[in-house]
A and B are shown apart, each in its own frame.
Chain A
Amino acid sequence: MFSKILIANRGEIAVRVIKTCRRLGIKTVVVYSEADADSMAVEMADETVFIGPAPAAQSYLVADKIIAACKETGAEAVHPGFGFLSENAGFAQRCADEGIVFIGPNPGAISAMGDKIESKKFAQAANVSCVPGYIGEIADTAHAVKIGEEIGYPVMIKASAGGGGKGIRVAWNRKDVEEGFPAVRSEAKASFGDDRIFIEKFITSPRHIEIQVMGDKHGNVVALFERECSIQRRNQKVIEEAPSPLLDEKTRKAMGDQAVALAKAVNYDSAGTVEFVAGQDKSFYFLEMNTRLQVEHPVTELITGLDLVEQMIRSAYGEKLNIDKNLKINGWAIESRIYAEDPYRKFLPSIGRLVRYNPPAEGERDGYTVRNDAGVREGDEISMFYDPMISKLCTWAPTREAAIAGMGRALEDFHIEGLGHNIPFLAAVMDQERYKSGALSTNYIVDEFPEGFSGTAPTPFQTDVMTAVAVAMHRIQSTRLGQKPRDAWQVFVGKAEKRSVAVTASGHDLSIELNDEGRTLALDRYDWRPGSATFRGKLNGVPFTVEVRPANEGFVIRHRAAKRQVLVLTPMSAELHERLPEKEAADTSRMVISPMPGLVVSMDVVLGQEVKEGEQVCIIEAMKMQNIIRAERDGTVKAVNAKSGDPVAADEVLVEFG
């Protein structure tokens, strides 16, 4: 076996590889950029090599620096992780030339699969099913109709040069083609000056299903079942699972066989993924092959018990695959990608410092297993230079239902402060009936959150949890101040829900009677102390964790995607709360507000200027991305509160209109 491996990557995948190496007794070398000097991977590695400035193009992507680091440290092999140099055939070749083992497929396999057209040709040759379509010159409408009939409706008529939603039509029947083809053609001509058109099968409500393959240098390839990655936002995978709720044994085998056939056709000799698009009718068509370890590989590991990084290392070392041919899928695994993005603000990136980072404990819990692949610790920075992923939270359980329930609980137990994160959004998906039913599609997020995400309304259980938690915290606080707590309270959960409660004696840690409903909430096993940001307990026997944040009045409590301000009030105070009229929200239409923290790159309006709705007001740079801020109404600029070069906070008022 290798004695020392260099990891040409960063973050969680570097940590992930180090963990396997440690178990195998292999020494590790981690390369790092300026931004990662104090990273967890650097702390864990046996040796480290500095490779330059933060931008990847000047560090992680520079093959020369990686090769030099291998030589300097005597590393015999390189694990590229994913991204960066992982699918760079030139780098793989360079390693081979320098006598360093590239832990991944051979350069030939990488280049064969790296080219979209080339890979489709290989796929066709290997009898892998591809999306039916016609790429040649289409003479006229009649020809287009003929092609449509051959492929079978619906079909997509698409301008070769198309983009931005222009030059695309879906035809559901002959008439649609007769109308659509000339329309798309003239649109293409007008918009792109290129009227070449192609027609291919349109897959309604498609699903993204991929097959994990593993090969060795002795011609063996096995398929390690599928992963479904249909929950995506703008082509970015968000939630993955294995196996797929769509597939039956027959389809699984067919897909696996095709994937293996394709891999064998290119002499594939490492871990790889064959991606398919699947219809709801279980039809499936080859998309592309990724010649690397995939981000979502942990779900495959959880249902197979294999360590794919170990398999890659062994295979790279020249060992024969040692995987049981009769390997069966064991249980169900789900992965949620925790991103530094703010779901409440259109998922804008939200980089910054992890002021608090408390992931759920890994290992077995009641009925499910938690795995959290992360490369960060509390106090680390999610920087603008790299992928804004904070961690990959996985749960495993014997059934899909239990794995989803486990993921819901694990997300409850994940506490992050300092930046925006998508945990409430992920929790919302876990709570959706459609997700639970397995009716997935790559349109899922667009279908289910057409207006974006704004949290969910509390369910009756969540309202009960918030009520009980608020009363418990209130009691702990007032007892501490030496006050004899009263027993009867009015509890407001948000503005809509008002409940009259009474604390009663019982065998439970805290019993709260709901006066109007004749029910009692029994709260047990909680250990909250003032200052804690999370409150764990059991309500009527059901375990829960909520996030609690003191507000100017009461607490803001979040359970999964439901968040409410909760007040515990005396009857008199409750009456006064109801007496005061609801305050009108500040008229923000007269202001331009910074949607995120960043730097003002340019301020494009001046005092007294007439501005029309939609006109550019300023540019804010965040995460190296320039965001154009536009006026939401017509108006005259009354105040300009920021100038070029100023750092601004989220919600800061940049410009005011008269």
Chain B
Amino acid sequence: MQHILEELEIRRQRAREGGGEKRIASQHAKGKLSARERIALLLDENSFEEYDMFVEHRCNDFGMGDQRIPGDGVVTGWGTINGRTVYVFSKDFTVFGGSLSMSHAQKIVKVQRAAARVGAPVIGIFDAGGARIQEGVDSLAGYADIFMENVLSSGVIPQISVIMGPCAGGDVYSPAMTDFIFMVKDTSYMYVTGPDVVKTVTNETLTHEELGGARLHSSKSGVADGAFENDLETMTQIRRLVDFLPGSNREKSAIRESYDDGDRIERSLDTLIPSNPNKPYDMKELILKVVDEADFFEIAPDYAKNIICGFARMEGQTVGVVANQPMALAGVLDIDASKKGARFVRFCDAFNIPIVTLVDVPGFMPGAKQELGGLIKHGAKLLFAFAEATVPKVTVITRKAYGGAYDVMSSKHLRGDVNYAWPTAEIAVMGSKGAVEIIFRAEAGDPAKLAEREAEYKSRFANPFVAAQRGYIDDVIMPHSTRRRIAKALRSLKGKTVSNPWKKHDNIPL
């Protein structure tokens, strides 16, 4: 009897070895941890329950019959992050380069389905070479099975992808369909076609980093939502992100006990807006001073910096913060900012996370490049996302809210629940100067007259009171009381229920 039990331990040991000591050492030498080490860092101590550690591939072509390693290049299972269940799969580069076989895909699909069933996030860790070419179409079928689960789970459970090594070809599309992608600087890259193919097709010579490095994707392409220094930091931050999220769309996010008084007053916010209207200020200061404990998990901090998106808490309750950033491009809405903001708003709405919107927006970005790039349709995404969102929506206009961008930024007209403005707010069709130049075109040659008109227009519209008189703004609030007012508004909205008309799904301008 005893030796039968021991046999299990021997088999487990073999599975845990993955591709063997040598390959793991080479993984370490590259600055990367092994698939199991990553899971150990991600999950609470000793909480990992592994599935399918004995699964092997069933391919006998091209010599694969002699090479079988238990686990088949991916470690799967579930565990907890600060006590809350998450499902996880972690590609093992030391086993067949982490390449995807049918059995490998089935392991992933198993955790995807389990996660959707119980309502828990799935975290996928990628470090792999792509399809198991020896398996041919089976490998492609495996990919599609994973894609299908990604799509079915989208909006049901949070799906997070962490790219910690190569991720190319078919492997990139599963992360692409998840909610968030994070990368590790210098040791990860992702692209549809690698440098060799690119060289053949377009004759461009590019490095992995130039074609798909973490810096590129987190700052220029917008594919990644963040990049971290190394595996350890990355896992710590993914844990932090998961703490903000609900397990599924069936639950509200976990409430964390707050040590921060909801009524806290911040006097220094009264001087946040510079007296010069063209001078920028850092919107992040407002966010950090308003939310609980200055704890803010920013999504895509290096991409489309003119809009800030991220998770925070108000009195312990997770909220999504969307804010224009005057420090970057004056906070203007352009194609990238609209896409970034829209995707974030839709995530929040899908997972019952209230949205706090902080507005200082001079409008949409003018220019041929933007128009050519389809600003109309991309800008409409953000408008669409805010409009369809049924979660509690609290908006504070700090300074500029001009033109169509005013409408877009979670305005009253898009079912904003509570819309506040600071006394410094200017809610208008456009800046006073531009407005006067159009209205009084006939006086264009008379600068003195124009200046007078501008002053007149300014005193009439460059304030929050016109909007407040019409009820588009619920109240004009003191900057120092912003936290208190948002906290109270969110408290009042706890019981909010609104639903959109029945439809199969909407048709957002993709």
A residues in contact (CB < 8 Å) with B: 37-38, 353-357, 377-381, 418, 478, 480-483, 486, 529-531, 550, 552-553, 570, 572-573, 576-577, 579-581, 583, 647
Q: Decide yes or no: A552 and B233 within 8 Å by CB, A486-B45, A573-B41, A576-B33 being known contacts.
A: yes
B230 within 8 A of A: yes
Q: Is B259 an interface residue (CB 8 A)?
A: yes
A570 contacts which of B45, B228, B237, B270 (Cβ < 8 Å)?
Answer: B45
Q: Mark B348-391, 1 if CB is under 8 A from A, else 0.
A: 00000000000000000000000000000000000000000000
CA distance A499 to B272 in the complex (A): 43
| Contact across chains for B31 and A581 when beta carbons are under 8 A apart | yes
Decide: A580 and B232 in contact? CB cutoff 8 A. yes
On whether A552 and B31 interact (CB within 8 A), knowing A480-B256, A531-B260, the answer reads no
With CB as the reference atom, state the residue of chain A lying closest to B38.
Answer: A576
Contact for B259 among A355, A531, A550, A577, CB less than 8 A: A531
Q: 8 A-B Cβ contacts within 8 A?
A: A378-B268, A379-B268, A380-B271, A531-B259, A576-B37, A576-B231, A580-B28, A581-B29
Complex Cα distance, B43 from A483, in Å, reads 13
Pairs of residues from A and B, 4 with the lowest C-beta to C-beta distance, nearest first: A531-B293, A379-B268, A529-B259, A379-B271
Q: Which of A377, A380, A483 sits near B82, CB closer than 8 Å?
A: A483
Q: Is the CB of A583 within 8 A of B186?
A: yes
Q: Digitize B36-70: 1 where CB-to-A-CB distance is under 8 Å, 0 elsewhere.
A: 01001100110000000000000000000000000
Minimum CB–CB distance from B85 to chain A (whole Å) comes to: 14
Query: Given the complex, which residues of B lie within 8 Å of A580, measured CB to CB?
Result: 28, 31, 33, 230-232
Known: A38-B271, A378-B268, A531-B260. A553 touches B31 (CB 8 A): no
- When distances are taken between beta carbons in the complex, the residues of chain B under 8 Å from A38 are 271, 275
* A355 in contact with B295 given A482-B83, A483-B44 (CB within 8 Å): no
Closest to A478 in B: B82
Q: A380-B271, A572-B45, A576-B232 are in contact. Are A481 and B82 (CB under 8 A)?
A: yes
Tell me whether B269 is interfacial, beta carbon within 8 Å: yes
By the criterion CB–CB under 8 Å, are B28 and A530 in contact? Answer: no
Closest to A418 in B: B285
B259 touching A530, Cβ below 8 Å? yes
| Cα-based distance from A529 to B257 in the complex (angstroms) | 12
Q: Is the CB of A581 within 8 A of B28?
A: yes
Asked if B437 is an interface residue, CB under 8 A from chain A, the answer is no
* B8-48 vs A, Cβ < 8 Å mask (1 yes, 0 no): 00000000000000000000110101000100110011000
CB distance from A314 to the nearest CB of B (A): 36
Are A355 and B256 touching (Cβ within 8 A)?
Answer: no
- B221 at the binding interface (Cβ < 8 Å): no
Chain A residue with minimal CB distance to B272? Answer: A379
Closest residue of A by beta carbon distance from B260? A531
* In contact, A573 and B82 (Cβ under 8 angstroms): no
Known: A37-B275, A579-B33. A482 touches B229 (CB 8 A): no
CA distance A483 to B84 in the complex (A): 11
Q: Which chain B residues numbered 245 to 296 have a C-beta less than 8 Å away from chain A?
A: 256-257, 259-260, 267-272, 275, 280-282, 285, 292-295
B229 to A355, Cβ gap below 8 A? no
Let me know if B149 is at the binding interface, CB within 8 A.
no
Minimum C-beta distance from B114 to chain A (A): 24
Known: A552-B229, A576-B232, A580-B232. Is A530-B33 also a contact (CB below 8 A)?
Answer: no
Do B268 and A553 have beta carbons less than 8 Å apart? no
- With a CB–CB cut-off of 8 A, which chain A residues contact B260? 529, 531
In contact, B82 and A482 (Cβ under 8 angstroms): yes
Taking CB as reference atom, which chain A residue is nearest B291? A531
* Bound complex: CA A529 to CA B294 (Å): 12
Contacts of A570 in B (CB 8 A): 45
Bound together, the chains give a CA A379 to CA B289 distance in angstroms of: 12
How far is B292's CA from A547's CA once the two chains are assembled, in angstroms?
19
Known contacts A379-B272, A573-B232, A576-B33: A481-B83 contact under CB 8 Å: yes
A-side contacts of B45, CB under 8 Å: 486, 570, 572
Chain B residues within 8 Å of chain A by Cβ, number = 40
Contacts of B40 in A (CB 8 A): 572-573, 576
- Shortest beta-carbon distance from B48 to chain A in Å: 12
Whole-angstrom CA separation of A448 from B35 in the bound complex:
49
Judge whether B236 is part of the interface by a CB distance below 8 angstroms.
yes
Taking a contact as CB atoms closer than 8 A, the residue among B82, B228, B268 that contacts A552 in the complex is B228
Q: A531 to B295, Cβ gap below 8 A? A: yes
Name which residue of chain A comes closest to B226, CB basis. Answer: A552
Q: Are B256 and A583 in contact (CB under 8 A)?
A: no
**CB of B375 to closest CB in A, whole Å:** 22
A553 & B233 in contact (Cβ 8 Å cutoff): yes
On chain B, the residues within 8 Å of A379 by CB distance are 267-272
Residues of B contacting A529 with CB < 8 Å? 259-260, 293
- Inter-chain CA distance A191–B232, complex, in Å, is 59
Q: What's the nearest-Cβ distance from chain B to residue A388, in Å?
A: 18
Taken together as a complex, chains A and B put the C-alpha atoms of A482 and B282 apart, in Å, by 34
B270 contacts A552, C-beta separation under 8 Å: no
Closest to A38 in B: B271
Per-residue 0/1 for B418-429: is the Cβ within 8 Å of any A Cβ (1 yes, 0 no)?
A: 000000000000
With a 10 A CB-CB cut-off, give which of B28, B82, B268, B270 has the most chain A CB atoms.
Answer: B268
> Complex formed: what's the CA distance from A483 to B295 in Å?
19
Contact partner, A480, options B228, B237, B257, B280, Cβ 8 Å: B257
**Cα–Cα distance between A24 and B256 once the two chains are bound (Å):** 53
Contact across chains for A531 and B267 when beta carbons are under 8 A apart: no
Of all chain B residues, which has the CB nearest A549? Answer: B294
Q: Is the CB of A481 within 8 A of B267?
A: no
**A354 to B282 Cα, complex, angstroms:** 12
Given A531-B295, A576-B33, CB of A552 within 8 Å of CB of B285: no
A478 to B45, CA, bound (A): 13
A481 to B243: give the CA distance in the assembly, Å.
9
Chain B nearest CB: distance from A433 CB in Å? 37
Contact partner of A355 among B82, B237, B268, CB < 8 A? B268
For residue B393, give the distance in angstroms from its CB to the closest CB of chain A: 25
Contacts of B269 in A (CB 8 A): 379
Given contacts A378-B268, A480-B259, A531-B292, 9 further A-B contacts (CB under 8 A): A355-B268, A531-B260, A573-B232, A577-B232, A580-B28, A580-B31, A580-B33, A580-B232, A583-B230
CB distance from B82 to the nearest CB of A (A): 4
A515→B257 CA distance, assembly (Å): 33
Closest to B231 in A: A580
Q: Which chain B residues border A579 with CB–CB below 8 Å?
A: 28, 33
Inter-chain contacts of B292 with A (CB < 8 A): 531
Question: B478: shortest Cβ distance to chain A, in Å?
Answer: 13
Contacts of A353 in B (CB 8 A): 281-282, 285
Return B295 CB to nearest CB of chain A, in Å: 7
CB distance from A447 to the nearest CB of B (A): 37
Chain A minimum-CB-distance residue to B294: A531
Q: Give the distance in Å from the alpha carbon of A647 to the alpha carbon of B40 in the complex.
A: 44
CB distance from B241 to the nearest CB of A (A): 12
B285 near A355: Cβ-Cβ < 8 Å: yes
The residues of A that contact B233 with a CB separation of less than 8 Å are 552-553
Complex: how many Å from CA A552 to CA B241?
12
Name the CB-closest residue of A to B271: A379
Residues in chain A near residue B257, CB distance under 8 A: 480
Q: Looking at the complex, which one of A381, A478, A481, A552 makes contact with B237 (CB distance below 8 Å)?
A: A552
How many Å lie between the Cα of A418 and that of B288 in the bound state? 12
C-alpha spacing A478/B268, complex, angstroms: 31
**Complex Cα–Cα for A38 and B232 (A):** 46
Distance in Å: Cβ of A646 to nearest Cβ of chain B: 11
Scan residues 294-331 of chain B and give those whose CB is less than 8 A from a CB of chain A: 294-295
| Residues of A with C-beta under 8 A to B271 | 38, 379-381
C-alpha spacing A531/B282, complex, angstroms: 19
CA distance A38 to B29 in the complex (A): 57
Taking the nearest CB of chain A, how far is it from the CB of B166, in angstroms?
18
A310 to chain B, nearest CB (A): 31
Residues of B within 8 A of A530 (CB): 259, 293, 295
Bound complex: CA of A357 vs CA of B268, how far in Å?
10
A87 to chain B: closest CB distance in Å? 32
The smallest C-beta distance from A47 to any residue of chain B, in angstroms, reads 21
Contact partners of B33 in chain A: CB under 8 A: 576, 579-580
